[in-house]
Structure 1
Amino acid sequence: MTITRHEPQHAPELRAAARHIGRRGFLTLTGAAAALAFAVNLPAAGAASAAELDARRIDDDPFTLGVASGDPRPGSVLLWTRLAPAPYQPDGGLPAERVTVHWELAHDEKFSRIAKRGTATAHPEYHHTVHVEVGRLDADRVYYYRFRTGTWISETGRTRTAPATTSPASSLTLAAVSCQAYADGYFTPYRHLAQDDVDVVFHLGDYLYEYAVNSVGGYRNYTDRTLPAHFNHETVTLEDYRLRYALFKSDPDLRAAHAAHPFVVTWDDHETENNYADDTPENSVPPEEFLLRRASAYRAYWENQPLRSPQQPTGPDMQLYRRLHWGRLAQFDVLDTRQYRSNQAYGDGSQIPGPDVDDPARTMTGATQERWLLDGWRSSKALWNVVPQQVTFSQRKFDLTTPSRVSMDAWDGYRASRRRVLDGARTAGIENLMVLTGDVHVGYGFDIKDDFDDPDSATLGTEIVATSIASGRDGIDKPANWDTYMQANPHMKFYNGRRGYVTVALGEQRARADFKTVPYVTTPGAPVTTAASYVTEVGEPGLTPA
């Protein structure tokens, strides 16, 4: 894909601010924060527009980007929407004035039994997005919600709360999705997911792509519409990222999935820039300038996702890792393997590993997040300990030779970090470990081995890798390297190259993973099939065909 790079709209200010800000540690200083806010047009936290718009003056439907919910907890859920009558315009078609939005949460789709209602303010400083944290709800309950402003009423969303943390909670069905490059095809898998019976959806990264999208939508090849020219360059500024979310979230299939199920989201690289690591960008941009871009990307991500207030970013920093529970059935430790990682060793592609990949000073998660993960396992009372994260955790050799190339961007490039995580799981007595992964645009099923080079070593858990929604275009069932990968990696139990998603049904005796795929995404309307199903038994980690 050709990337058209451009000079950021505020490039002189960005460079000037970067020279004064220095590295990230200085961004906490008042003067530096002010310079950052000026450079990327970020208002101070809590800023509010002086004027209020009379919502009756909104002539066109402002709910063009749908509704969403997220991070279900036992007595609480997060509701999201954005007001944008003209979503492909930088201002969304609204003046820089705040708007009052009414919301309702009901026990039924007809809203005859209202559970909660209230008002929220859509601030222009947050691009007229709305985040409503609704509390004091019943645990383990399905709810329906909608928003209203002026004469306009949004579509109805369906969400749910989690069971109480002390509840035995005998079952949970989740879906895992990742990687939705708009220009690579239609988001058809989301249409099927919207109709699937799942409790919660985990998005494992690459919700957005920073690459240019041309006037015909790339491989969508529109003949009935023309996309504005401002999508046809790489995202750099806050305005760029906000507009790109508007483009992606206007997709009807993605809207349908958000309306049907609560999402738990975490990012990978493309929400900011391909293969970045902490403050190190992909290319030779100074780290100080890249952090300004990262601040814009993180701001737009929070604005456009159903995330709670603790995840609201400060400058280029945002704590996205967090813990959720589903009664005593499952604990979810949602990781961020991008913001705190050491720079990739030997470049960010496939390489024969050198000694740096075993350097204990190098980390995938950062020391604080790693400690948080291991401490959480030690205190876990859950039957299943599930880790939704981004890049392939299990060893993945690309060749039949010894040594073999592996990915420097995945956990294979951070073997000491992976060793500490696996040792931490064993020390904590974690018997039913499951890792959920995205990133690679294919579906995998792995047995997580204590020693990946010894097929007879203990199996410590399972890894389920969700293929992409659209990235990589149509794909094929058996890619050209299928035989090589399956021989080089005996712990790899499944490999498929189609687009789609995976569902995982967690139970008291076993978990079942269903890999669901579509035959094409470059044209709309593809059917969905289950390519394969696997189970892993409680107390006996490892995948077997269902």
Structure 2
Amino acid sequence: MTPAGQHHAPELKAAARHVGRRRFLTVTGAAAALAFATELPTAGVASAAELDGRRIKDNPFTLGVASGDPLPGSVLLWTRLAPAPYEPGGGLPKERVAVQWELAHDARFRRVARRGTVTAHPEFNHSVHVEAEHLDAGRTYYFRFKAGTWVSETGRTRTAPPAGSRPGPLTLAAVSCQAYHDGYFTAYKHLAQDDVDVVFHLGDYLYEYAVNAVGGARKYTDRTLPAHYNKETQTLEDYRLRYALYKSDPDLRAAHAAHPFVVTWDDHEAENNYADDISENDDPPAEFLLRRAAAYRAYWENQPLRRPQLPKGPDAQLYRRLVWGRLAQFDILDTRQYRSDQAYGDTAHAPGPESDDPARTITGATQERWLIDGWHRSRAQWNLVPQQVTFSQRKLDLTAQAKLSMDAWDGYRASRQRVLAGAKAADLDNLMILTGDVHVGYAFDIKADFDDPSSKTLGTEIVATSIASGKDGADKPANWETYTKANPHMKFYNGRRGYVTVGLDREAARADFKTVSAVTTPDAPIKTAASFVTEAGDPGLKPA
């Protein structure tokens, strides 16, 4: 197999950077892609006229507010103007809109810390990204936006502690996989009320699949979704409309308003199981790169991401590093954009020469070096890696040559070994991987040799179940007994929907797996299905 990053000719990626907004996927083939010459406009050079906000007749803040990527003196604030979110363009003309923002020490905005005005450009679908700076470190803030006479709901956010400080305990939440058509986002309603400092979204924020008029498993009786949702996303407008559908969900909006998010994508934000420029159905790379460019742009427009993450055509550097004083370092990965194609046709398969080719990579060489170099420089007590697909070995049957998932790190074992060797060389005592993707909750001990249960434990992996994907699920899926017998390093397996919280202090980390009883009906209660502790300097999960 060809290593990631070498699949496509550079001119194809260059062509995808020069595609007009109205021409995404209107023609096919490499020759047509190379003919595109209209670069996507950027804010500051656009020629759109300005719309007086007082002319906006309906509430433009239908998609809520969000914040993300907290730094010691800065946080990213987000909103998007869309008075008619289910319509192309969000119901606004292709004109600029001035948006005011405020950041305060109190929820009633009596003590405003920072304020300003930013432009919502039609080229960015009237989304707003404010990098609020010169803030106090380690502090809670409240924020809101104004456009014309309209005022958004109030969001709550926080900045990271001072660099080099020894902060008090940190509680994070990890979430993933929220297929709108599979059920309600009830877990987010509970998360909005939970006492956490930051939320890590580990991928599959939306799904490219069609959503029918009644919202799939939601079975709406009080509304009908427009017909343009009942198709797979392909174009920039498709992806923008799909984000509007998801972000109009009240529970998702509540979670974003309550906590800062740190986001990374997996596959469904573009297309199922893609690898670099190779699509699920082996479309011509030139065509898929155009689709990927559309998906990446819509992702940035609709997430609380900073300007360094702004895509350039089909490329975006989503991997990045955040630090929480000397308590925790977070190395957020992208295991989708740079990976080698999945081995053995992307089906469950026993490991073999194709999957174990040392040239194969799930991160790409540059990101791999960045991760390991960052570990060597880390001064944090805990080193956490929020990423997408299952890192630990996961045998899928009890045969001698058990099948493994070729889409997870099991399909890239040489890549995993290089990363673990890097962790060992950096002398990391407290490594924790945070994972999504599989629609179940897992807790793993990361072993030096996964086939030898007595081998050294190098860290822990906490896998967050889905918010809605997979519908209601079950506490014990049908393969529960097989998986637990085949994988003795697996300490927990649950198939319900929900999220996981991880509390960190200098002595230990505690993971609480929180699940809801159903997502096909709204307002299900939540419970803690299991809790585990791993002590600093003594990796390995123990029941709490």
Normalising TM by the smaller chain, what interval?
over 0.9
2:10 to 2, 8, 25: 25
One-letter amino acid matched to 1:394: S
1:109 aligns with 2:94: no
C-alpha offsets along residues 278-310 of structure 1, whole Å, 9 cap, x if unaligned? 000000310111000000000000000000000
Instruction: Tell me which residue corresponds to 2:368.
Output: 370
Q: Matches of 1:281 and 1:454 in 2, distance apart?
A: 36
Instruction: Tell me which residue corresponds to 2:397.
Output: 399
Q: Matches of 2:19 and 2:196 in 1, distance apart?
A: 45
Q: Matches of 1:33 and 1:482 in 2, distance apart?
A: 46
C-alpha offsets along residues 52-97 of structure 1, whole Å, 9 cap, x if unaligned? 0010000000000000000000000000000000000001010000
Instruction: Tell me which residue corresponds to 1:443.
Output: 441
1:353 to 351, 354, 357: 351
Distance 1:179 1:285, change over 3 A: same
Matches within 5 A, 1:410-425: 410-425=408-423
Q: Matches of 2:50 and 2:351 in 1, distance apart?
A: 58
Distance 1:465 1:362, change over 3 A: same
Instruction: Tell me which residue corresponds to 1:9.
Output: none
Q: Matches of 2:313 and 2:227 in 1, distance apart?
A: 29
Q: Matches of 1:445 and 1:23 in 2, distance apart?
A: 37
1:193 aligns with 2:179: no
2:381 to 367, 380, 383: 383
Matches within 5 A, 1:123-522: 123-522=121-520
**In the TM superposition, what is the alpha-carbon distance from 1:421 to its structure 2 partner?**
0.2
Secondary structure, counterpart of 1:259 in structure 2: helix
Secondary structure, counterpart of 2:237 in structure 1: helix
Matches within 5 A, 1:62-141: 62-141=60-139
Secondary structure, counterpart of 1:448 in structure 2: strand
Instruction: Tell me which residue corresponds to 2:41.
Output: 44
Secondary structure, counterpart of 2:515 in structure 1: strand
Distance 1:42 1:234, change over 3 A: farther
C-alpha offsets along residues 193-213 of structure 1, whole Å, 9 cap, x if unaligned? 000000000000000100000
Where structure 1 has 5 or more consecutive residues not aligned to the other structure, the ranges are: 1-21
Secondary structure, counterpart of 2:482 in structure 1: helix
**In the TM superposition, what is the alpha-carbon distance from 1:359 to its structure 2 partner?**
1.1
Q: Matches of 1:233 and 1:27 in 2, distance apart?
A: 27
One-letter amino acid matched to 1:247: L
One-letter amino acid matched to 1:218: G
Q: Matches of 1:154 and 1:506 in 2, distance apart?
A: 33
Q: Matches of 2:84 and 2:510 in 1, distance apart?
A: 43
On the 8 A contact 2:18/2:40 being kept in 1, the answer is no
Secondary structure, counterpart of 1:346 in structure 2: helix
**In the TM superposition, what is the alpha-carbon distance from 1:37 to its structure 2 partner?**
5.7
Instruction: Tell me which residue corresponds to 1:14.
Output: none
Distance 1:205 1:103, change over 3 A: same
C-alpha offsets along residues 198-247 of structure 1, whole Å, 9 cap, x if unaligned? 00000000001000000000000000000000000000000000000000
Where structure 2 has 5 or more consecutive residues not aligned to the other structure, the ranges are: 1-6, 25-37
One-letter amino acid matched to 1:26: E
Q: Matches of 1:374 and 1:308 in 2, distance apart?
A: 23
Report the TM-score when normalising by structure 2.
0.95
Q: Matches of 1:354 and 1:170 in 2, distance apart?
A: 47
Report the TM-score when normalising by structure 1.
0.95
Distance 1:349 1:32, change over 3 A: closer
C-alpha offsets along residues 448-499 of structure 1, whole Å, 9 cap, x if unaligned? 0000000010000000000000000000000111111011000000000000
Q: Matches of 2:496 and 2:239 in 1, distance apart?
A: 28
Secondary structure, counterpart of 1:92 in structure 2: helix
**In the TM superposition, what is the alpha-carbon distance from 1:353 to its structure 2 partner?**
1.6
On the 8 A contact 1:37/1:43 being kept in 2, the answer is yes
**In the TM superposition, what is the alpha-carbon distance from 1:43 to its structure 2 partner?**
2.3
On the 8 A contact 2:82/2:90 being kept in 1, the answer is yes
Distance 1:247 1:452, change over 3 A: same
**In the TM superposition, what is the alpha-carbon distance from 1:355 to its structure 2 partner?**
1.3
- Higher mean Cα deviation, 263-272 or 36-45? 36-45
Alpha-carbon RMSD: 1.2
Q: Matches of 1:57 and 1:484 in 2, distance apart?
A: 62
On the 8 A contact 2:445/2:541 being kept in 1, the answer is yes
On the 8 A contact 1:49/1:96 being kept in 2, the answer is no
**In the TM superposition, what is the alpha-carbon distance from 1:98 to its structure 2 partner?**
0.2
C-alpha offsets along residues 397-438 of structure 1, whole Å, 9 cap, x if unaligned? 011111101100000000000000000000000000000000
Q: Matches of 1:193 and 1:35 in 2, distance apart?
A: 39
Q: Matches of 2:123 and 2:203 in 1, distance apart?
A: 25
Q: Matches of 1:98 and 1:186 in 2, distance apart?
A: 34
On the 8 A contact 1:24/1:288 being kept in 2, the answer is no
- Higher mean Cα deviation, 34-43 or 457-466? 34-43
Q: Matches of 2:251 and 2:311 in 1, distance apart?
A: 28
Question: Share of identical aligned residues, percent?
Answer: 75
Q: Matches of 2:366 and 2:202 in 1, distance apart?
A: 21
Q: Matches of 1:515 and 1:309 in 2, distance apart?
A: 33
On the 8 A contact 1:49/1:98 being kept in 2, the answer is no
Secondary structure, counterpart of 1:133 in structure 2: strand
Secondary structure, counterpart of 1:453 in structure 2: coil
Q: Matches of 1:301 and 1:23 in 2, distance apart?
A: 23
On the 8 A contact 1:140/1:160 being kept in 2, the answer is yes
On the 8 A contact 1:36/1:315 being kept in 2, the answer is no
